[in-house]
């Protein structure tokens, strides 16, 4: 059996298996016995958890918490709102649309790690939202909508599908003349790096008019290992670029030091930071959420000027009308007819001439 399939079959999703890896606290045990929620991770990702620290940043993403039953701020039917599933345009279940030229194509609700902070919780973790994942319906809709250039394949985790299914999807999408790029959102480089097998590399490889891009999700420097580096290198060797979409998570990556280290370490394994997302107002994840300004402050205090421009993600909040950038805005301090006054990351001022139009 392939190592990645074995990882999934041995998913750490029972108390018994979890106890072999970490010292489960009485609270964790009570939560697992009480909450009816899908949870679990790969033995590989579980091995990165701190066996003794319940606040371990990986552990908090893996093990359910009673706080998930509290919901002061989360929106009811969040995904229906967010993915415009209740508006006029008729679309198959698998197509979520916010933009003119690109769509999200949801192909599965299965994941290698059931992230406790997932904004697709209703679909993936709680399973109260049921969608039909019909490739043919999706492909037909895309074929009929010639304004769509860019397909973001998402889930769940699309790289959990078999090689055959993924190859089929890629082939069908590449046959559509107006499709210019295919993107995958997958956490496998972080939670299941074994997925990038030689056979899978053959499917992704070779020059083609329509490139494949991957965005993964890494939220803490502890999630990055030698195996991550190898998986990303293998993807790049197939001509597939790898970016990161982190989620800003309270108590996990919302301090200056961790936030900087995360973005620096991503580059050491050739992952380019793309987005940092504000933790969305989905239900049951209040305890992961910070004030909105926090992400912009972290970019200002941890990244801009403090480390290379290659390490700078865009901070956004994903909404029903698309992603809204929330970047720090303190650089132009003053402007008059003669000059602009600019401020750098150390609070030092400089001036440059104001050129009239
Ligand atoms: C995030 C998202 C996209 C892609 O957005 P980019 O900013 O291009 O990465 C497209 N459609 C939907 C519905 C999305 O949620
Ligand atoms: S991998 Fe993505 S879709 Fe799956 S649980 Fe994590 S955040 Fe949600």
330, pLDDT greater than 80: no
- Distance, CA 306 to ligand 2 centroid (Å)? 30
pLDDT on residue 185: 98
Strands 339-343 and 349-353, bridge-based pairing: antiparallel
Q: How far is CA 73 from the centre of its chain?
A: 21
Q: Has residue 1 been placed in a domain?
A: no
My answer on whether 202 and 303 are in the same domain is: yes
131, pLDDT greater than 90: no
CATH of the domain at 149: 3.20.20.70
Cβ atoms < 10 Å from Cβ of 325: 10
Question: Is the shortest distance between the CB of 95 and ligand 2 below 6 Å?
Answer: no
Share of the chain above pLDDT 90, in %: 91
Question: Is the shortest distance between the CB of 323 and ligand 1 below 6 Å?
Answer: yes
CB 153 within 8 A of CB 105: yes
321, pLDDT greater than 90: yes
My answer on whether 209 and 341 are in the same domain is: no
My answer on whether 142 and 273 are in the same domain is: yes
Question: Is the shortest distance between the CB of 118 and ligand 2 below 6 Å?
Answer: yes
Q: Has residue 215 been placed in a domain?
A: yes
Q: In this predicted model, what pLDDT tens digit does every residue of 143-189 receive, in sequence order?
A: 999 999 999 999 999 999 999 999 999 999 999 999 999 999 999 99
My answer on whether 230 and 189 are in the same domain is: yes
My answer on whether 338 and 312 are in the same domain is: no
Q: Has residue 319 been placed in a domain?
A: yes
128, pLDDT greater than 90: no
My answer on whether 202 and 186 are in the same domain is: yes
Atom of ligand 2 nearest to the CA of 117: 7
245, pLDDT greater than 90: yes
Domain that holds residue 335: 331-357
Contact residues for 36 (Cβ-Cβ < 8 A; gap 6+): none
Helices (H), the chain: 3-9, 15-19, 26-34, 43-46, 57-62, 78-82, 121-124, 135-144, 163-174, 188-191, 198-204, 226-237, 256-268, 293-298
My answer on whether 298 and 218 are in the same domain is: yes
Q: Has residue 19 been placed in a domain?
A: no
349, pLDDT greater than 80: yes
Cα separation, 332 vs 343, whole angstroms: 7
Q: Has residue 5 been placed in a domain?
A: no
My answer on whether 305 and 341 are in the same domain is: no
Full-prediction pTM beyond 0.85?
yes
Closest ligand to residue 277's CA = 1
Atom of ligand 2 nearest to the CA of 187: 1
- Distance, CA 103 to ligand 1 centroid (Å)? 7
Q: Tally the domains of the chain.
A: 2
Strands 181-185 and 150-154, bridge-based pairing: parallel
As a whole number, mean pLDDT of residues 197-206 equals 97
Q: Has residue 32 been placed in a domain?
A: no
My answer on whether 244 and 356 are in the same domain is: no
Q: Has residue 205 been placed in a domain?
A: yes
Q: Which band of pLDDT confidence, cut at 50, 70 and 90, is reported for residue 249? A: very high
My answer on whether 337 and 294 are in the same domain is: no
Helices (H), 154-241: 163-174, 188-191, 198-204, 226-237
DSSP 195: G
Closest ligand to residue 123's CA = 2
Q: Has residue 202 been placed in a domain?
A: yes
My answer on whether 251 and 319 are in the same domain is: yes
Residue nearest to atom 3 of ligand 2 (CA): 156
Residue nearest to atom 10 of ligand 1 (CA): 103
DSSP 347: S
My answer on whether 256 and 353 are in the same domain is: no
Closest ligand to residue 159's CA = 2
As a whole number, mean pLDDT of residues 3-26 equals 98
């Amino acid at each position: 059996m392939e190592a990645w399939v074995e990882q999934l079959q041995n998913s750490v999703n029972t108390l018994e298996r979890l106890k072999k890896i970490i010292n489960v606290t009485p609270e964790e045990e009570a939560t697992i016995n009480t909450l009816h929620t899908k949870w679990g991770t790969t033995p590989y990702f579980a091995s990165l958890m701190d066996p003794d620290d319940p606040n371990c940043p990986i552990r908090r993403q893996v093990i359910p918490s009673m706080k998930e039953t509290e919901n002061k701020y989360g929106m009811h039917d969040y995904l229906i709102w967010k993915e415009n599933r209740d508006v006029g345009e008729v679309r198959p279940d698998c197509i979520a649309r916010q933009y003119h030229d690109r769509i999200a194509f949801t192909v599965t609700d299965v994941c290698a790690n059931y992230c406790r902070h997932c904004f697709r919780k209703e679909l993936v973790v709680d399973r109260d939202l049921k969608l039909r994942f019909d490739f043919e319906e999706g492909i037909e809709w895309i074929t009929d909508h010639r304004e769509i250039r860019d397909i973001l394949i998402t889930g769940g985790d699309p790289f959990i599908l078999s090689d055959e299914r993924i190859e089929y999807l890629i082939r069908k999408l590449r046959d559509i003349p107006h499709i210019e790029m295919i993107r995958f959102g997958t956490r496998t480089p972080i939670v299941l790096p074994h997925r990038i097998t030689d056979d899978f590399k053959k499917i992704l490889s070779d020059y083609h008019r329509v490139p494949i891009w991957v965005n993964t999700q890494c939220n803490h420097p502890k999630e990055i290992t030698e195996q991550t580096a190898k998986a990303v290198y293998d993807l790049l060797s197939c001509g597939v670029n790898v970016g990161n979409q982190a989620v800003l998570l309270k108590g996990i990556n919302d301090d200056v030091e961790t936030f900087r280290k995360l973005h620096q370490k991503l580059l050491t394994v050739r992952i380019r930071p793309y987005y940092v997302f504000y933790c969305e107002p989905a239900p049951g994840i209040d305890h992961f959420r910070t004030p909105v300004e926090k992400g912009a402050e972290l970019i200002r205090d941890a990244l801009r000027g403090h480390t290379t421009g290659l390490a700078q993600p865009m901070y956004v909040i994903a909404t029903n009308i698309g992603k809204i950038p929330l970047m720090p805005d303190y650089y132009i301090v003053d402007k008059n007819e003669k000059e602009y006054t600019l401020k750098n990351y150390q609070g030092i001022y400089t001036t440059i001439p104001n050129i009239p139009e």
